[in-house]
Structure 1
Amino acid sequence: MAMKMINQAHIRRGRIRSFTSYCGGLPSPAAANNPLAYKFSWNPAGAIRTGCNPATYRFHGETVHVNGDDLYDSATRFRIPDLPAFALECLPNRNSLVYGDLYGIGEEASTIFRGTLRYEGFSEIMETLARIGLFDFEPHPILKDGKRPTFGTFLLELLEIKSEYFDGTMMGEKDITERIVTLGLCKERGTAIQTAKTIIFLGLHEQTEIPVSCHSSFDVTCLRMEERLAYSGTEQDMVLLHHEVEVDFPDGQPTEKHRATLLEFGRTKNEKTTTAMALTVGIPAAIGALLLLENKIKTRGVLRPLEPEVYVPALDILQAYGFKLLEKFE
């Protein structure tokens, strides 16, 4: 879809001023029913690690580098004009400049940005959880062989609270909130409250013994997220993809802004749900195989879907299959 937009602009002698692309695999609004407004359709460990990746992009001619430790802090509020009901935020996604070269716009575009979408508030909570120490990869002394601590005892350790203060009872939401505020782990009290709600939802305060398979804070958090942030059999996920391309034209013609949006939900048939993630990843791959089998692609070798002979029929088949691509020009 991105290559189609860029090629159409180039055919009209346009010059790409800005290319921005946003994508997210999210719960549908009905399934975003936890404080984090997120669920995992794949291994939480992989998803959490992506929050530690550095990012690079270009903005108004300047190259911006974001350290992995600062990624959640770099999230910005984001809205899609044609989907105003979605309260979203965006995090930069790894090295966007690679796509400038792939799309042939590296020398002309002053802005090249690819971002990951989440519901608004996600990054503040994740950053606060990280500051508590819940994403630390190193083995934790309290989780060494021997008597296993409970989740609640481990949380007290991370929050630097003496265990006798609670003496086997669970910390409540208010207790956790106040401790987060006292330690200065987030900027806003509202974030501390939402983080405490997330900790409670995940059961990280419970007096249940931590399994021996957990050796680090990261292991503990992943275990709880895998248990508590999974989709039920009837819940739908959602894939949201949004491209924006600003194009300058010669001879004093006005700058145009092209937008393209794909919104796909998981599909349920015979009481079995196929995730939107599976559909949007699997079906394009199947279409590519079909085009090869039918000899619709004449070019030989390893190809990306960046040439019209690939993406034009592929997009047509996708829409025939029920994927709705909304395109607008301003």
Structure 2
Amino acid sequence: MKKILLFGAGKSATVLIRYLLDHAAAEHWQLTIAEANLQLAQSKLNNHTSGKAVALHTEDGVRRRALITEADIVISMLPPALHILVALDCLDIGRNLLTASYIDEALLSLKASIETRGLLFLCETGLDPGIDHMSAMQLLNRIRNKGGHITGFKSHCGGLIAPENDNNPWHYKISWNPRNIALAGYAGAVYKENGVLKELPYNLIFENCPTLEVPSLGTWACYPNRNSLAYIPVYGLETAATVIRTTLRHPDFCTAWSFIVKAGLSALTDTELINSYRHKSVAEWFTACLNFYTRSNTFDDFLSRYVPATKQQLVATMFRYLGLLDLVPIPPQATVSADILQYLLETRLPLAAGDRDMIIMVHEITYQVQEQQRQITSSLVVKGDDAMRTAMAKTVGLPLGIATKLILNGTVRTTGLQIPTSKELYEPILAELQQNGIRFTEEDEIV
């Protein structure tokens, strides 16, 4: 009997848990979910005989280490900042670790030790990052195998609301970690376009976003995502003139969010301001932010001074929908403006029980082969079943579940700090994803 330990049972873990339980009997697995909210974990297990839930606050090092010691493999679906606690224990105890999150500096510092111990820490094995890496590498290697030379690479991905449930002016509902939504673009972006290195600070990320037409699903704005240059050596794109990874949102979302940023509503450093408004309303906090960050006296003043006339009605409607002018109290747990913004996102843009979310991923790869310039456009569209079995939960959870199976049954034997860009990983994971309805369509044409 192989013992799997999963830390976290949140939104994105639902389908992962179901996959592990569905395969438990055949694969001889026992799943343990460690979660601060015991009732949540128990609800995801639904009394399955191959699963058990334990209450755990991740900072409880003694209990955390005991659970890892009992496990054969560990999966962390915790907030990214907490992965390092689990990783250090896995390194010390000698357990393989999987996550869907980006490799950060803390994990990168363990790289040599992970290799020395002969362990596998497999990260970025969810949707984005994850399926994007695997599908891109499969395409790039196929092009290279037929003698093609890559000249441009664009990869776009968005967790969105399905058109049939798009019924608010933001054209968005939350299907994953709301903190990441509140802080989208915060780190700025670096990418390469037509041979020119470009760097955008946070305040420019959402301005004048280019758009992408997705057949039958409309037009989507693309804002650049973090450091695209980091993937040049990973994907072997040193000679490509364009390398950019973007996030997809409705164009109205990006228009309004650029003014969310301008108004300082996602700030992480204004504790003093929040403390002075501790017992006041959201509307009063909003006005204070406008005063502090833009020297605007009122919302109407802000609109007239900063928002183009053609966009003022749109921005006003979207800000009001988000509750920025409401007289409700500021959430007591808020310490910075970003906390209040996150609270508003969670309460005003929830995914209702019957709603379906939608994932769109598109790769645009230009290449030259036999004196011919060509472009492959590879597209993935996945819709959720409901607010529990979301498209986000499917596309984040299934790759992790499949990878867990491949490691436990010995199909994958690689070690070290890895992301799923090797054929050993991406071929079997993508093949099983296709069996679960997660498949790309392709067009390859002369340009």
TM over 0.5: yes
Equivalent residue, structure 2, for 1:193:
313
User: How does the TM-score come out when normalised to structure 2?
Assistant: 0.63
RMSD of aligned residue pairs (Cα, Å): 2.4
Amino acid aligned to 1:284 = P
2:244 pairs with one of 113, 121, 134: 113
* Aligned position for 1:167: none
CA apart distance, 1:298: 4.9
Alignment of 1:17 onto 2:151: yes
Query: Aligned AA for 2:190?
Result: T
Is 1:222 aligned to 2:353, yes or no?
no
Measured against aligned partners, the alpha-carbon deviations of 1:241-298 in whole angstroms (never above 9, x if no partner) come to: 1111111124x3x112111111111124xxx731111110110111112223333335
Partner Cα distance (1:233, 1:146) in 2: 34
Going from structure 1 to structure 2, the CA distance change for 1:149 and 1:9 (only over 3 Å counts) comes to same
> Per residue, is there more helix in 1 or in 2?
2
Match of 2:197 among 48, 60, 63: 63
Contact 2:377 2:444 in 1 (8 A): yes
Give the gaps of 5 or more residues in structure 2.
Answer: 1-134, 292-297
Runs of 4+ in 1 over 6 A off after TM superposition: none
Q: Tell me the equivalent position of 1:210.
A: 330
1:234/1:273 contact within 8 Å kept: no
Partner of 1:54: 188
321 and 73 in structure 1: CA distance in 2 versus 1, 3 angstrom threshold: same
Alpha-carbon separation, structure 1, partners of 2:427 and 2:248: 26
2:354 to 234, 237, 241: 234
Aligned length: 306
Q: TM-score, normalised by structure 1?
A: 0.84
Return the offset for 1:202.
2.0
Instruction: Choose which of 123, 126, 130 in structure 1 pairs with 2:254.
Output: 123
**What are structure 1's unaligned runs of at least 5 residues?**
161-174
Q: Does 1:323 align with 2:438?
A: yes
Q: How many Å apart are 1:55 and its aligned residue?
A: 0.9
Q: Is the 8 A contact 1:56 1:66 kept in 2?
A: yes
Q: How does 1:114-193 map to 2 (within 5 A)?
A: 114-139=245-270, 143-144=274-275, 148-160=279-291, 176=299, 178-182=300-304, 184-186=305-307, 188-193=308-313
Q: Which AA in structure 1 matches 2:187? A: N
Q: 1:99, CA displacement in angstroms?
A: 1.3
8 Å Cα contact 2:277-2:285 kept in structure 1? no
Give CA deviations for 1:22-76 in whole Å, capped at 9, x if unaligned: 0111111233322221222234332222222221111111111111221111522
| SS, match of residue 174 in structure 2 | coil
Which amino acid counterpart does residue 209 of structure 2 have in structure 1?
A: A
The answer on whether the counterparts of 1:142 and 1:149 sit within 8 Å (CA) in structure 2 is: no
| Superimposed CA distance per residue, residues 136-190 of structure 1 (whole angstroms, 9 cap, x where no aligned partner) | 3333666436872222333344445xxxxxxxxxxxxxx95x43332x222x224
Q: Give distance in 2, aligned partners of 1:69 and 1:90.
A: 15
Aligned to 2:379: 261
Correspondence 1:27 to 2:158 = no
Deviates more, 1:289-298 or 1:255-264: 289-298
**Is the alpha carbon distance of 1:306 and 1:145 closer, same or farther for their aligned partners in structure 2, counting shifts above 3 Å?**
closer
Map of 2:294 onto structure 1? none
Q: Which of 229, 235, 242 is the matching residue for 1:103?
A: 235
Question: Is 1:309 paired with 2:424?
Answer: yes
CA contact under 8 A between 2:176 and 2:392: conserved in structure 1? no
Identity, % of aligned pairs?
28
